[in-house]
Amino acid sequence: MKKSERCLAILEILQRQHKVTVTDLAQRFGISEMTIRRDLNFLARQYNISRTHGGAELGNQPVVRMISFDEARIAHKETKEKIAAMAATMIRSGQRIFVDAGSTTRIILNYLNEETKAVVVVNHLKVAEQALQFENLSVIMLGGDMIRITNCSSGPVAEEQLKNYQLDIAFIGAAAIGTDGKLYDGYSPEARLKSSLFSVAKKVYVLADSSKINTYDLNEFGSLSQIDGLITDAGIDEEGMILMKRHRVNVMIAE
């Protein structure tokens, strides 16, 4: 079993049991306890799980992939900047757009022409604050349950509010794009919110650096066949391109 598959399985166990031990996991996967410790350390840096002396615990909460707004901690930052810059060129005055809270999508606003007049719908406090710096943007913050750990709004209220809008473009991130052609997110309420965008946006573009391709996460929210394009980087390998061609995805490479 690959590390990515094993880590996903560990997260699913934590979702069910809320606590795991190194010894039990090592026996379950037939690998060394040292390898399991490395896996748990890796997961603790990306998700809201806590390392304990003998394993890890989640507590009485769902697994959430941590969204960092500390620019110094963002992985593949230069690549993501290029992807966001390309996405920004697609925005026209008069459009209604959705920008999610992903580490790539939120950078779009850094490259937006200040003269652009548009309506921007967001579900993250930091993204809303950034959008409000543009005098020509009308900003709509989705309501609903605020997730303290990510500062995102989600849940039934946010989903119902979103369904009342008609959007021209939605720019969304993906925690993973699987070899099965599915799009994945690290948090189920966020995944449900993203899935509702396909029914209200004329065009949906996924912004994801090449490291996300041919990987998996916990929650499926859509498929490659539903999107209008993938904006990624030149690091996408042959296997990734074959996957995109199989699902007839318009791939845009940010140079």
Give the span between the Cα atoms of 84 and 73, in whole angstroms. 17
Residue 35 zone, left/alpha/beta (φ > 0; ψ -120 to 50; rest): alpha
pLDDT at 70: 52
pLDDT at 151: 82
C-alpha 235, offset from chain centre: 19
pLDDT at 157: 94
String of b and e for 115-151 (b: at least 16 CB within 10 Å)?
Answer: ebebbbbbbbbebbebbeebeebebbbbebeebeebb
Nearest residue to 7 via CA among 39, 38, 29, 33: 39
Domains of the chain by start residue, with CATH: 3-57 (1.10.10.10), 75-254 (3.40.50.1360)
The secondary element (H helix, E strand) that includes residue 131 is helix 125-131
Backbone angles phi, psi at 19, to 5 degrees: -155, 140
What residues are paired with 170 via a beta bridge?
98, 204
Nearest residue to 218 via CA among 3, 4, 1, 2: 4
pLDDT at 59: 80
pLDDT at 126: 87
**What is the block-wise mean pLDDT of the chain (255 residues), using blocks of 10 residues?**
86 91 95 94 88 90 68 69 96 97 88 95 92 95 84 90 96 94 88 94 97 90 97 96 97 95
pLDDT at 68: 55
pLDDT at 67: 60
Give the span between the Cα atoms of 220 and 208, in whole angstroms. 15
DSSP assignment of 37-84, as one string?
Answer: HHHHHHHHHHBS-EEETTEEE--SS---B-----GGG-TTHHHHHHHH
Give the span between the Cα atoms of 144 and 158, in whole angstroms. 5
